[in-house]
Amino acid sequence: MYLVTGLGNPGRSYAKTRHNVGFMLVDWMAKEAGVKFEPLENYAVTCTTERINKTLTLAKPQTYMNSSGFAARQLVEHFGMDLSKTLIVYDDLALPLGTIRIRRSGGSSGQKGMQSIIAALGTQDVPRLRIGILPDNPPADYSDFVLERFARKERPILEEVLDRSIAAIDTVLTDGIEQAMSLYN
């Protein structure tokens, strides 16, 4: 079994914002699989599906981005997951819109959700898929920017990068994270 956790903020007002690209990805995968998210206690919503002959649990923490670590730790413990069988998906302001990066481990690069996860799990050895959200013209205020919706002209790029991210996850499931890194980074 694999656990893919998309990071974001719960609630309708955040649904289509840049900071919720992790939620968008797992929502896209759930919709494609025809499964619906159900509450798991009070810290996450999850659903389970089969993908490429593997059981895959999709999760969205309900603890808000900056407190994602609590939910991530609870999810890992609840499902008895080895961290090598997990993947955290989140937005990254250091990457241009339309790019992705897969890593087996590393620091948070200032992303507060990932920072919270590293602290809660006590290790940087947490596989992750970062989705770039930086536009051609960087904004003056990043805190407001991440809570804005994608511009109309950015939506086709977003859809393409979500599809590519799913293909990368499929490669992780079938051939491992190293192969996914060499193909998609």
The residues spanned by each domain of the chain are 2-184
Give pLDDT, residue 181: 98
Is 78 a catalytic site residue? no
Q: Dihedral of the CA atoms 62, 72, 41, 78 (nearest 10)? A: 160
Task: Catalytic residue, from 2, 17, 19, 60: name it.
Answer: 19
Rounded to a whole number of angstroms, the CA Rg of the chain reads: 15
Tell me which residue has tokens 């895959």. Answer: 56
- Reading the chain (185 residues) residue by residue, the pLDDT tens digits are 999 999 999 999 999 999 999 999 999 999 999 999 999 999 999 999 999 999 999 999 999 999 999 999 999 999 999 999 999 999 999 999 999 999 999 999 889 999 999 999 999 999 999 999 998 888 888 888 999 999 999 999 999 999 999 999 999 999 999 999 999 99
Give pLDDT, residue 75: 98
Name the class of domain 2-184.
alpha beta
